[in-house]
């Protein structure tokens, strides 16, 4: 959990303080402010596609409290990289169930086209006023996918100072996730086997816990400017591998997958072992996040800028710059969006494992503790460019449409030509309708 409920409340407070036009600001205590949206997401090269309808509803209650509810449904289809890299020869892989196989052509990034999932997520927050200047918010969330269950709870305490121009916030969140993948939990660094010859599994499911703590301050600088600074610490304990990701074992003499390398362990025709092993990641992850945001109201327009720095003990460091400019058109508005994300690779990110160097040719034992070729752990840069158009409607309602183009470039080092992780292009189209009910 990323404490998104806390950040959303900060955003709402920003709109109020800067007197930005928003239907929710004008809501009466006895009415619901409702936001609905449907998002379409599509990746290039026939990869992941998603459709996500969502609804949010909140209202002030009579006893100086507030309730917020949200429901999100994700439907995902398409193909997902399995972790192996492209090779000059065709490669055959076994599906997670172990019952069938699929083949990637020579020079083609291996994609598992059996990817299909539906996620339903529900969350609720209840804010209670403790006195005139302080309040506490209790939150809960549940998310269910075909092979994943997440349960979470959070608590946020906020107190105003300095004639309510300063707000100090502390928050705590805890999630427990249960992973129940198709075919079970793969045994780390054990080989993928040919279809129908058995699968290397160490159990049906596993779990992990996620704990986050945040402290923050929001400061009204003037009638035109507000700033926010948050510092959060988090830890994840438990199963953190991607059960569907593998790492290629190569013959260093040929640079090809080690099927025909002469290794007795990876002699596929005899042992049924394919030249791919399931990845291994640490079972703990400590992270620190620094987040800064400022909103400045011009004569009519609004500038919204944020910066996020992330650091964890896996070696990943990232910087996120986000800029939005709301340009009023007199009865409607345009909001261009620019986001830049840069990331350093995890310490254990690797392109492949070499037979006789990283892997014993006879036993198949891997000499390293951790290894993954998941491109999401690689050094990368992502640029997002978007534009939103919104128009207020009658009865305190608003309709908006947002389109964004995302370009991700992966830098996985000096790898042989044709084996690089491909760049990713994606497109987002979202429709929103907000109203007072």
In sign, the C-alpha dihedral spanning 409, 411, 414, 419 is negative
Percent of the chain with pLDDT strictly greater than 70: 93
What mean pLDDT is predicted for residues 303-325? Answer: 98
Interval 190-210 mean pLDDT: 95
**pLDDT of 17 higher than 80:** no
With residues binned 3-state (H G I as helix, E B as strand, rest as coil), the percentages for the chain, rounded to 5, are 5, 60, 35
Contact 166, 144 (CB under 8 A): no
CA pair distance 126, 360, nearest whole angstrom: 56
- Taking residues 54-62, report their average pLDDT: 93
For the stretch 134-147, pLDDT in tens is 999 999 999 999 99
Which band of pLDDT confidence, cut at 50, 70 and 90, is reported for residue 30? low
**Confidence (pLDDT) at 108:** 93
What's the sign of the alpha-carbon dihedral 177, 182, 183, 186?
A: negative
Q: Is 53 helix (H, G, I), strand (E, B) or coil?
A: strand
Predicted pLDDT of residue 25: 38
pLDDT single digits (tens) 342-386: 999 999 999 999 999 999 999 999 999 999 999 999 999 999 999
Give exposure, 2-19, as e/b (b: 16+ Cβ within 10 Å). Answer: ebebbbebbebbbbebbe
Q: What is the average per-residue pLDDT within 92-111?
A: 94
Q: Which residues of 235-265 are buried (b: 16+ CB within 10 A; e: fewer)?
A: ebebbbbbbbbbbbbbbeeeebbbbebebeb
- Tell whether the model's pLDDT for residue 58 goes beyond 80: yes
Mean pLDDT of the region 159-171: 97
Taking 50 as the threshold, does the pLDDT of residue 6 lie above it? no
Residue 4's pLDDT band, with cuts at 50, 70 and 90, is very low
Question: Mean pLDDT lowest for which of 69-78, 113-122, 287-296?
Answer: 113-122
Residues in a beta bridge with 113? none
Which neighbouring-strand residues pair with 86? none
**72-77: average pLDDT:** 95
**Structure tokens given for 230:** 């948050």
Question: Residues 219-257: pLDDT tens digits?
Answer: 999 999 999 999 999 999 999 999 999 999 999 999 999
Backbone angles phi, psi at 82, to 5 degrees: -95, 0
Phi, psi angle pair for 6, to nearest 5°: -65, -45
Q: What is the DSSP string of 340-353?
A: EEEEPPPTTB-S-E
Q: Residue 11: pLDDT band by 50, 70, 90 thresholds?
A: very low
What DSSP character marks residue 260? G
């Amino acid at each position: 959990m990323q404490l998104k409920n806390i950040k959303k409340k900060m955003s709402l407070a920003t709109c109020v303080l800067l007197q930005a036009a928003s239907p929710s600001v004008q809501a009466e205590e006895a009415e619901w402010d409702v936001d609905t949206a449907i998002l379409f997401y599509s990746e290039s090269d026939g990869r992941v596609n998603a459709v996500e309808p969502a609804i949010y509803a909140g209202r002030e209650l009579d006893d100086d409290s507030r309730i917020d509810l949200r429901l999100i449904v994700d439907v995902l289809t398409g193909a997902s990289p399995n972790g192996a890299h492209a090779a000059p020869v065709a490669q055959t892989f076994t599906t997670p169930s172990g019952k069938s196989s699929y083949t990637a052509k020579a020079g083609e990034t291996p994609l598992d086209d059996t990817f299909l999932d539906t996620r339903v997520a529900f969350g609720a927050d209840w804010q209670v006023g403790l006195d005139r200047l302080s309040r506490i918010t209790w939150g809960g969330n549940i998310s269910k996918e075909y092979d994943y269950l997440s349960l979470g709870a959070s608590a946020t305490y906020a107190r105003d100072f300095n004639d309510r121009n300063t707000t100090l916030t502390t928050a705590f969140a805890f999630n427990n996730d249960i992973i129940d993948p198709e075919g079970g939990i793969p045994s780390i660094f054990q080989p993928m086997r040919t279809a129908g010859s058995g699968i290397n599994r160490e159990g049906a499911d596993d779990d992990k816990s996620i704990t986050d703590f945040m402290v923050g301050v929001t400061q009204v600088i003037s009638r035109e400017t507000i700033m926010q600074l948050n510092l959060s610490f988090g830890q994840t304990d438990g199963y953190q591998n991607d059960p569907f990701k593998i790492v290629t074992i190569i013959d260093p003499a040929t640079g090809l997958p080690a099927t025909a390398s002469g290794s007795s362990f990876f002699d596929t025709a005899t042992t049924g072992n394919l030249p791919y092993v399931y990845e291994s990641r640490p079972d703990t992850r400590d992270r620190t996040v620094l987040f800064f945001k400022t909103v400045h109201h011009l004569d009519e327009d609004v500038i919204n800028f944020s910066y996020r720095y992330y650091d964890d003990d896996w070696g990943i460091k990232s910087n996120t710059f986000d800029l939005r400019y709301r340009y009023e058109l007199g009865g409607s508005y345009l909001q261009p969006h620019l986001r830049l994300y840069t990331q350093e690779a995890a310490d254990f990110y690797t392109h492949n494992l070499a037979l006789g160097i990283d892997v014993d040719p006879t036993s198949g034992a891997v000499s390293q503790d951790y290894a993954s070729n998941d491109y999401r752990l690689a050094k990368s840069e992502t640029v997002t460019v978007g534009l939103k158009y919104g128009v207020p409607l009658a009865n305190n309602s608003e309709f908006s449409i947002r389109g964004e183009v995302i370009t991700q470039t992966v830098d996985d080092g000096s790898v042989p030509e044709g084996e690089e992780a491909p760049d990713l292009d994606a497109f987002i189209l979202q429709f929103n309708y907000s109203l007072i009910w």
